[in-house]
Amino acid sequence: MIPYFVFRLLLFTHLALLLSACYGNGSHDKRPSPFNCGSLGRIHYPFTKAEEPECGLIAIHGCDNSSSDKTIELENGRTFLVTSILQQDGLNSSPQITNFDQVLHDRLQSNGSCEAFNNNITLPANSPLVSFDIKYNVTLYRCNHSLNVSPPTGFIKHLCPDYNIYHYSMLSTPNHTEVSSFSACSVIVLPKKDLPDTDDLQSFLTAQTVLDVRLSDDCDNCYNQDGGMCGLDSNNNFYCDKGAAEHKSMVLKLALGLGLALSIGVVVLLLLFVACCFIRKPSSFLWTKKHPTHQIIETFFKEHGPLSTRRYTYDEIEKATNYFKHKLGQGGYGSVYKGKLQDGSLIAVKLLSELKGTGEEFINEVASISRTSHVNIVSLLGFCFQGSKRALIYEFMPNGSLEKFIYEDNTNMVDRQLDCKTLYDIAIGVARGLEYLHRGCNTRILHFDIKPHNILLDEDFCPKISDFGLAKVCSRKESIVSLLGARGTAGYIAPEVFSRSFGGVSHKSDVYSYGMMVLEMVGGRRNINVEVDCSSEIYFPHWIYKRLELNQELELRCIKNDTDERVRKMSVVSLWCIQTNPLMRPEMRKLVEMVEGSLESLQIPPKPYLSSPPTSPAHYSTQTFILNVRPPSDFMKHTCPGYDLYYDSSILPSNHEQVPSSFSKCSVLQLPRKDLTDTKDLLSFLTAQMVIEVRLSDECDKCYNHMGGQCRLDRNRTFLCDKVAQRKRKVMKLGLGLALSIGVFVVLLFMACCFIRKLSTFPWTKKHPTHQIIEAFLKEHGPLSTRRHTYSELEKATNYFKHKLGQGGYGSVYKGKLQDGSLIAVKVLSELKGTCEEFINEVASISRTSHVNIVSLKGFCFQGSKRALIYEFMPNGSLEKFIYEDNTNMVDRQLDCKTLYDIAIGVARGLEYLHRGCNTRILHFDIKPHNILLDEDFCPKISDFGLAKVCSRKESIVSLLGARGTAGYIAPEVFSRSFGGVSHKSDVYSYGMMVLEMVGGRRNINVEVECSSEIYFPHWIYKRLELNHELGLRCIKNDTDKERMKKMTLVSLWCIQTDPSMRPAMSKVVEMLEVPPKPYLSSPPTSPAHYSTQTFM
């Protein structure tokens, strides 16, 4: 029991806390609360809903209706569609509104039309409260033909029927002093793209306008410092409504004094508590996390919630690495050390430097790899973020990186040389890993740094893609991505990453890097050798293309005999990958097929630009120009092989603002020179010592020197000023009283929580054997990628199991919604049915997967006898509802042949991932239409892993205690080992039976009719194929549908062969479905016609 005097102390302390909470923030009473505006997210003042104009300065229409467009009225009553609002907390930085002008868009879409130039953009007049600026705009000059305008240098002319349009070149810096020629012309301002890469007027104009919203200084001070709201009185004069803030200052002081006085009794105890915690974990306290990088990363963890990787403390990292004793290597962002976890597993710890990087590479790594699970992607076991300490914990790769094994200039090359077979397998493995990142993963991931150094090799030389510091996570529907600048390593960066004139940046950029890497694997040398003379012969792709073109032997180091065609195949494929045009490069799925296919089927690609590629964007062009240059009189000439250098010969340093016109066709280099030199010899006055002058921007200077703040950029690279001085004043007013009062409350709350949590560990709650088995499993497997929910959380999420979606063999499924708004399907397992095996199978299997065709297990519940599984919600339910003709609602739900075909391919890809792509091989054993769920786009997801078996990747045959699966889909060998061993081919059989049902619109076994061979649909369909009769299936509408259905039928008949060795692997099934029919895609041997009609008890 709490002593009476302690109770009184707490009572008065919390009264002070309430007073402080009520009045300590009194200056903010008049400010309106933030509000949700549909797709625009949560926004606040100066924005307001159109229905509440008195609560802000800029009204947004449609906020209360989530499905309606969000609009804003700007000019002359015209309405614009609002696509996004970028706004930080407070008003320290200007909010940005992105609008879409449908009228301008329609005019720009009419090719060559000049209608877009008939209107100017006019914004509302500036007021004492708020003003608007167009962030990206271009000034056009509209001149009648009769004016005969002579435009200055650098201006481009666009012809129209009645006038000409002039604008400055987008590819150069405008000189606004040269516009006097247009004094008689009309001026038009229109929005343009952020970074135009063309001078074509129709191409760089856009209907999307980015507006900067700026509050006046008076309004900013009123809102941020005085806690009031801005307004204009009847005479249009500014006023600030501060409400009752000024009258509450005395109450504020009284409340703070009371809070401090009543908290003095516990100060000593709290100081001792803080001191103990500080000694144990000094880096975990608030004052060590004020750095912007720390705040960004903490925000990231808060937004993304529980990840599949564990968060370690720095103490744990030190112990695991024996205080960083065994160093494995050094990278650009830090060092890598070998370590060992408590369970004995070896790890590689990448300790990021405290001084390098902004935190983006750390976030990229955790965000990217935590979304993946693939045999060719390195596993991120955990991470550490503690104050300024950042580390990434990977699985240990005994053979290190591929870089050590492929270059002939490596001194240890003799001992480490890899044969062609190993190099070939590594190339295929990396291709499969990239294919998974681009298409198989739930979110598309672009790596942007594929190179030998980032390919790690395990003990079996299985390749693992690593280092996702430059990766970009994007939507699967996003074909082209935006980058702020070039990223990657010189020699592997695709041309379009440097310059958008080559095309958009996409997953094809990784294909280019892969091709360059494979060429280095083939040649045993770097594609760029910076230590030799500047000539095209140092560029290895040029040499290898020449020999392939002339059909000459490659004569490479790893080729042991003339019959080994692997290296030649790798060379041809890599040359396809490094095509300059991204559209010419194959996708990774096609690459895998090309590498695994025959050499005869490969064609030599068109010749790309085959000169030495760039080491920086400035030198990208590989074309050669012969120029006759006449330099100015004060320039000197320095001759080099292949080119001449010209430089200013003046002794005193000079800074030419403009390049002389004589050098307009030349490249520009800037190198450091000595301060004062008495020689004109180029090599004598150049120096490797640079003096760099650092200047703060005007905004940052004002923020730091005048406002006492700190400058930083947010994740969108928008300038922010953290006003530390103002924050300190507020902390001084409220911090001490509130902190001490809350401290007492938190300590007691922590003790209460520990006591309640301890109750659940007492023996009487876990006596049942089933509970002990599951608890042991959860303890053994540690943190999983799925979250453990309480039963009360599930009750709230499902509104107490109100909306039932269906009933299964092991329980019922209900629809629900999590706190973040995402819809879920909750499968509540029956307390009376089953042991615990199906629950453990489900959690163990799906928590190891991440694939677009595998349903995501978002969480689970195990609380006493309550067991539940939480999946992502699938709006279209199961495939079973859509394929059977005896379904009463079939007319409304009938799927066309294209959709059925795509579903068949999607399920095949999912099974291929489970069998070969996942880190641990998973056999499903219950593939059937009921267990294939369909999302809103009818993308199939394999679900229900209750009968699944997790096994080693090297384990080809597995042992089962008994038959498992659903009658009609179970492979023969699962019933009787006389047919062969149980393996992944058992899932292939079930897949084939399911696809036959999709094709025929009927069940393969109809138990309600008389037992005869004619009721067995595979027998019927095989007979018609054998006699070359039409299949006569319901969904066929044209020849393309006919071809698809026939292909699905033939593939499925191969899958249901009685002999498992006759069935194709799922990778082969995907290939058979995706490519045009080949000779092997003929009718397979007949399997026993009556097999699946047997009933086993």
Residue ranges of the annotated binding site for ATP are 350, 827
Q: Which two tokens stand for residue 377?
A: 């992607």
Which phi and psi (to 5°) does residue 812 adopt?
-110, 155
SS3 for 889-949 is: CHHHHCCCHHHHHHHHHHHHHHHHHHHHHCCCEEECCCCCHHHEEECCCCCEEECCCCCCE
Angle at 366 between CA 361 and CA 372, to 5 degrees: 125
How far lies 1059's CA from each of 851, 976, 1082, in Å?
30, 12, 17
Cis peptide bond N-terminal to 875, omega within 30: no
Q: Show which residues are catalytic.
A: 449
Q: Which two tokens stand for residue 176?
A: 């606004």
How far lies 377's CA from each of 381, 395, 542, in Å?
12, 11, 31
**Whether 713 contacts 719, CB under 8 Å:** yes
| Residue 527: its H or E element | none
**Whether 497 contacts 487, CB under 8 Å:** yes
Which phi and psi (to 5°) does residue 208 adopt?
-100, 120
Sign of the CA dihedral with 13 first, then 14, 16, and 17 last: positive
AA letter at 61: H
Neighbours of 1072 (CB within 10 A): 20
Q: Whole-angstrom distance between the N-terminal and C-terminal Cα of the chain?
A: 62
Of the candidates 787, 961, 937, 800, the one whose C-alpha atom is nearest the C-alpha of residue 875 is 937
Q: Write the CB contacts of 600 (distance below 8 Å, at least 6 apart in sequence).
A: none
**Whether 768 contacts 774, CB under 8 Å:** no
Angle at 175 between CA 170 and CA 181, to 5 degrees: 100
Q: Which two tokens stand for residue 492?
A: 């592997």
455: β partners: 465
Of the candidates 447, 589, 569, the one whose C-alpha atom is nearest the C-alpha of residue 518 is 569
Return d(Cα 304, Cα 311) in angstroms, integer. 13
Cβ neighbourhood burial of 870 (10 Å; 0-12, 13-18, 19+): buried
Q: Which two tokens stand for residue 760?
A: 């659940």
Of the candidates 872, 867, 873, 874, the one whose C-alpha atom is nearest the C-alpha of residue 788 is 867
787: β partners: 859
| Residue 640: its H or E element | strand 635-640
**Whether 123 contacts 132, CB under 8 Å:** yes
Return d(Cα 456, Cα 76) in angstroms, integer. 62
Return d(Cα 9, Cα 995) in angstroms, integer. 73
Return d(Cα 55, Cα 540) in angstroms, integer. 66
Return d(Cα 121, Cα 137) in angstroms, integer. 10
- Structure-token match 């009818």, residue found: 938
